[in-house]
Every structure is written in C-alpha cells, then in structure tokens.
Amino acid sequence: MNKKMSCALFALLIAVASLVSACATTGGGEECPISPDGAVKAMPAGTKDFPMSELPPPANEADRKYLGLSGGGNFPVRQIKAQVVIVEVFSFYCPHCQRTAAQINDLYRMIEARADLKGKVKLIGIGAKNSAFEVDAYRERYHVPFPLFPDEEMVLTEKLGVKGTPTFIGIRMAENGAPRQFYFGEGGFADNQKFLTEIIRLSGL
Amino acid sequence: MKGWNRRVGGMVCCLGVLALMAGGGAAYGQSTGFTDNIYPVGKLKPTDSVPRLKVGDVAPDFTLPAVQGGTVSLSQFKGRRNVVISFVPAAWTPVCSDQWPGYNISRKLFDKHEATLIGITVDNIPTLYAWTKQMCNPGEKLWFPVLSDFFPHGGVASRYGVLRSDGVSERALFVINKKGIVTYIDVHDINQRPFLDALARALEEANRQ
C-alpha cells in the first residue's frame, strides 16, 4: 500500500467514525435519516419530552374538530387527539416557507386520504415570531387546510431549539405522560411520500 | 440543480434570520454558498439618526431609479394612492430578506387600503437586483417597486431623517396619504422586524385623514 492510498484509507476511516459519532450523540440509533432529496439532512433528535407549552386556541371550529379538542382557550400539545403530530415551524416572512406552502398542504391531504393514517397522524404549523394577524394572512394566502398557531414571542420555538424556518418536528403522543419528540428536520424535503414514510418508520406507528 | 439552489437560497436566508431573531446568533450548520452571502452585522444600536419629519408634515418628494427599470417619484401618487415607504438598512444583511417577502404576499392588504408600497435602500441597482431576486419564486418578481437611494448616497433617507451615521438607513416605515401628508412614522429598532398588524392599522388611519 503506497503513502497516497494509506492517507485515503485513513481519511475514510475518520469520516465513518465521525458519522457514527454524530448519530450516537443525537441518540438516533444506528442510522441518520437523510431527507429524500439529499439536500437537507434531518437528524433524529432522539426521543425526548416535547416541551410543556400551550398553544393558543384554534382559529376556527374546523381546526378544533381536527385536533379533537373539546374546550376553549389555550391547550397543551398533549391534548391533541392523535398518535403522531407533525409540527411545521414556519414564518409568514420566509420565502422558502412560502414556496413550499402548497407542498405542505399536499402532505396534509395525503395523510387525510390514507385510511391507515387519517386521525392518527396530524399536522400543525407554528408561526415563529409571527403575530396572529400574520398567521391569519399566511393561512388565507396559501389556503392552508391544517391548524396554524402564532408564536409571537418565540416561546415554543425557542424551547424546541428551532434556529430557522421551515423546521419539521415529529412528536409521538403518549397515553400517559409527555409527548415524545422523535424527529427534528431543518429546511424541508422534496418528496412528501418519502418524508411521510420516514416519519411513520421513526415514530414506530 | 438551478431550482434547488434557488430553493435552498431562500431557505438559508430564513434560517439565518431566525437564528438572529432568536437572539442566538449561533453559527448555523448550513454549508451552502448562499449562507456565506449574508453578512453578519451583529446587534446594532436600535436607532442612529435624527428625526426630520413628524406626522402631519408634507412628505418630501423624490425621484429614484427602480430595480424594475425607470424611475419612480412620490408625486406621481398624489391624489391617487396612499403610499407606504419601507426603508430597510441594506441588502444581504441579517433580517435581510426578512421583511419584504412578507409584504410580497400581502398585496391584497395594500390594495384594500388603496396603498402603493415603495421599498428603498441605499444599495445600488445591481445589488438590489440580485438581492430581491432571491426573495421570489423562480420567474417571479416583487410586485412593488424597489428604489435605489445610492447616489447621491442616502439622499432621500437623509431628507426623511433615517440615514444612520454609518451610511445605511434605518428600518423605517412611513405612510403618506393621498394628500401627500405623512400620517404614520415607525423608525423601528433596526434589529427587529415590525409586525404587519401595526402597518395595517396605520393604513386604515391614513384613509380616514
């Protein structure tokens, strides 16, 4: 083995070791899922408790019904009637969120069209640093069919450790105890079907 | 590949913006070329100019070149439309593309109040061309004119009392009614984005005056 080949082998070993280490530190098990288009890597955050934050009341009765909420007022995420909740942290001001709004609407429709997922997997959006007025404007502009909530003071956004929009978070709901976060993906994804398959696989649904 | 770059470009802008909004300013692990184009200015003095206008004043007229071509004068809207002037500090800076993309999907709000939006920065036209292009979907343009207050540098910003000591403008909003009178001024903290709610209320007020 010549010197050049030794160096290449050594570099390869370092790269593999780094990858294994990165997965291990995120607690994600034996593999790091990569978003379907390969453009944006989504590393599993490991499962951890979803922050105990309340969301404001849904904007309308249809949203309330979709989420399975009975009372009025603010509500904790754990009250959402679902087995898995996908959270999109978005912003009214984010061009990438705007460009992919129709795609995320399609994701919602894809879930609702599948008998094995409807009612079990639900989708919500949280507007980072957006007022209720801005979230309403975004909903209207893009005809968003799933519930959107403002996070004007970035309370939940900061607790979730979100650094940019859009970010997608997967939560597995629990019969008892706090919901568990099992997925944290920054940037978005190109293929709804592949994303959904990955969410289902990681959630253990 | 081209489309992907555009998409990621917009994405990275948002990611960078939010990192700053969150007060973290932490390095963000996106390694695309676009990330490197956003210049990290850090936290700045909230405002750094001397006001020259107050509500009730006649808005100074101006004529500036537009990135879309030609020139735009404030006086061309007198008697016809309310005008919102949005000064933003500079292209390619944090909070960067973070304000006008929201206005770009809010045309209905401006039309509802018979208002025209004008964006102004102290950058030159080629810079504004590249910067505003990444705010839109491929093949689309901002619906409102973006004007260059580059030469004489910051001349209009100075007359409106929003030219900072380092040569960029404040993040400021002016509403001017159809009579050409200033009805609303928000010289905002340069580090923060103004909420759309306040501007919507100001536009309602402009139509009452």
What pLDDT is recorded for position A2? 52
Mean pLDDT within A94-115 = 96
Q: What is the CATH number of the domain that holds A114?
A: 3.40.30.10
What pLDDT is recorded for position B148? 98
* Minimal CA separation from B144 to chain A, in Å: 16
A49 & A131 share domain:
yes
CA atoms within 13 A on the CB side of A146: 26
Residues of B in contact with A188 (CB under 8 A): 7, 11
Q: HEC string of A153-203? A: CCHHHHHCCCCCCCEEEEEECCCCCCCEEEEEEECCCCCHHHHHHHHHHHH
Mean pLDDT within A105-119 = 97
Counted domains in chain A? 2
CB contact under 8 A, A93 and B135: no
- Note if B96 is an active site residue: yes
A23 & A122 share domain:
no
A67 & A81 share domain:
yes
What domains can you pick out in chain B, each with its CATH number?
1-38 (no CATH), 44-208 (3.40.30.10)
Could you report the per-residue pLDDT of B108-150, keeping only the tens digit for each? 999 999 999 999 999 999 999 999 988 887 788 899 999 999 9
User: 3-state DSSP call for residue B114?
Assistant: coil
Q: How far apart are CA A124 and CA A36, in angstroms?
A: 21
A143 & A119 share domain:
yes
Could you report the per-residue pLDDT of A120-152, keeping only the tens digit for each? 999 999 999 999 999 999 999 999 999 999 999
A71 & A125 share domain:
yes
**Enclosing domain of residue A15:** 1-30
The answer to whether residue A42 scores a pLDDT higher than 90 is no
Could you report the per-residue pLDDT of B151-196, keeping only the tens digit for each? 999 999 999 999 999 999 999 999 999 999 999 999 999 999 999 9
A95 & A181 share domain:
yes
CA atoms within 13 A on the CB side of B21: 31
A15 & A106 share domain:
no
CB contact under 8 A, B24 and A186: no
A9 & A47 share domain:
no
Q: How far apart are CA A199 and CA A170, in angstroms?
A: 7
What pLDDT is recorded for position B25? 32
A11 & A86 share domain:
no
* Omega of the bond leading into A166 within 30 degrees of 0 (cis): yes
- pLDDT category of residue B95 using cuts at 50, 70 and 90: low
Could you report the per-residue pLDDT of A51-64, keeping only the tens digit for each? 767 899 999 999 99
Q: At B197, which amino acid appears?
A: D
Q: What is the mean pLDDT of chain A?
A: 81
Q: How far apart are CA B176 and CA B115, in angstroms?
A: 9
What pLDDT is recorded for position B97? 60
CB contact under 8 A, A141 and B105: yes
Q: Cβ of B30 under 8 Å from any chain A Cβ?
A: yes
What pLDDT is recorded for position B7? 39
The total number of residues shown for chain B amounts to 209
Between A and B, how many residue pairs show a Cβ–Cβ distance under 8 A? Answer: 107
User: 3-state DSSP call for residue B9?
Assistant: helix
